[in-house]
Structure 1
Amino acid sequence: MDPILPSPVPVLFGQSLLIGLSIAAPVGQIGLLAIQRTLDHGRPAGLATGLGAAFADAVYGAIGAFGITGLVAWLLSLKLWLGLFGGGFLLWLAWRIATKPVMRSLGGPPPRSTLLRYVAGTFVLTMSNPTTILSFMAVFGALAGRAPSASPWVMVVGVLVGSALWWLILSAGVGWLRDRFDGRWQRAVNLCSAALLAGLGLWQLGHLII
């Protein structure tokens, strides 16, 4: 009797989950924002910040999985304007973080409207980097060639779950450390986050000129 092979759908979901996790894990501008907001307002704020990026990763994953080349070309044609918006937005966030006083919410989670604003803000910030689509297309094109025809949605959900899992882990870990940070340390973290965000914003703007 032939051995029972694993179903391609669960395997594909697991591969896509790992892709989403690996894309979210490197600490960039969204990671810095998630850490800073977790320290300021608690785990829900950090998780909401990360989920905005997770939803954007899922959108990019859908574009790559379904091979929507027309949309890819259109987004890449807007690379300059999206890059200017993303770089300017990062500089604005850096200025806000550096100039605002240390905040420490000890009560319940932020209002739902604030959490939704965090989700929307990081979604737009992540979507302002359309060149990410190219990496998604390369990876998802290879996966789709060995997958069943109904698999694109499996890949999209896998990326979303993997990315969201990372933001859950990060916000939980930073939330655990939050109680061990006093105001002085939190101020130092805010200033470091602002400097790094400003550096990323300037790098993104400078990269458009080169």
Structure 2
Amino acid sequence: MEYLLRGILIGLLFGLPFGAVGALTVQRTWSSGVKAGLLTGFGSSVADCAYACIGAFGLTLISDFLLRFQGIITALGGVLILAMGLKTMLCPQKELPQEEPLEGGKLFLTSFAIGITNPAAILTFLFAFSYFGISEIAGWINGILLVAGVFLGTYFWWGALSTFTQFVKRRAAKFQLHTMNRIFGGILCAFGISVFIKLFL
């Protein structure tokens, strides 16, 4: 249980909902409800778990490959973020009726793709493990508990962000949906552009 608790703490400290996925979670919660936000956050948490697995189990072959092609993978993520931002900003979505089912797979996959195209996350988790004194993990069970803790810690933030966004939405009825979508679309575009600026610099 010690590894589970450490994983939760790492997820809480390093899984703060900032960045492109955070903006996407807020936008989708605002337009389609808490469930859409939770599905979006779920994709990001799974991506975090994938990188946490690489760090926890010492999968150096995979980590070396991802870090070697980090620029290309990150650029693909930047293109995805920019495309989603432009689509949201230029073609504001209408709010989904209550009876219309959400495209859960699409919500999950897009946020997962954004999260997984950040190979530098491996270094973040390696630093986190070292900071919390997790240099070597004895046994697969402890590794699984650590990764599960990371998932729970990061997903807590997505749940909190989605719930808070829904709370604010109910008290901000004067803001029209298409206006908010344009704002969030602009934020996503800014994140996408910043990815390319970092790559070129």
TM-score (normalised: structure 1): 0.86
The answer to whether structure 1 residue 42 and structure 2 residue 42 are counterparts is: no
* 1:144 corresponds to which of 120, 134, 149: 134
Within 2, Cα distance between the matches of 1:148 and 1:104? Answer: 49
Maintained 8 Å contact 1:42/1:109 = no
1:67–1:137: 8 Å Cα contact kept in structure 2? no
Asked if residue 127 in structure 1 is aligned to residue 116 in structure 2, the reply is yes
Give the aligned length: 199
Root-mean-square deviation over aligned CA pairs: 1.9
CA-CA distance at 1:183 after TM superposition? 6.3
Contact 1:37 1:46 survives alignment (8 Å): yes
- The percentage of aligned residue pairs carrying the same residue is 27
Listed as ranges, the gaps of 5+ residues in structure 2 are none
Question: Is 1:12 aligned with 2:3?
Answer: yes
**What is the rounded CA distance, in whole Å, between the counterparts of 1:165 and 1:200 in structure 2?**
23
CA contact (8 A) 1:41 1:110 kept: no
**What CA distance in whole angstroms lies between the structure 2 residues aligned with 1:159 and 1:175?**
25
Change (3 A) 1:12 1:200: same
User: Alpha carbons of 1:65 and 1:194: their partners in 2 closer, same or farther (altered >3 Å)?
Assistant: same
Q: With structure 2 as the length reference, what TM-score do the two structures score? A: 0.90
Query: Which residue does the alignment assign to 2:78?
Result: 87
In structure 1, the partner of 2:179 is 188
How far did 1:178 drift?
Answer: 2.4
**How many Å separate the matches in 1 of 2:6 and 2:126?**
15
Aligned to 2:160: 169
Among candidates 146, 157, 164, match of residue 155 of structure 1: 146
Q: Which segment drifts farther, 20-29 or 174-183?
A: 174-183
| Segment of structure 1 superposing worse, 24-33 or 145-154 | 145-154
Cα distance change of structure 1 residues 106 and 179 upon mapping to structure 2, 3 Å threshold: farther
Q: Which amino acid aligns with 1:189?
A: M
Distance 1:17 1:181, change over 3 A: same
Aligned partners of 1:143, 1:201: CA distance in 2, in Å?
34
State whether residues 38 and 45 of structure 1, in contact with CA within 8 Å, keep that contact through their aligned partners in structure 2.
Answer: yes
Q: Which runs of 5+ in 1 are unaligned?
A: 1-9
Q: Secondary structure at the match of 1:151?
A: helix
- Which residue pairs with 2:192 in the alignment? 201
Q: Which amino acid aligns with 1:107?
A: Q
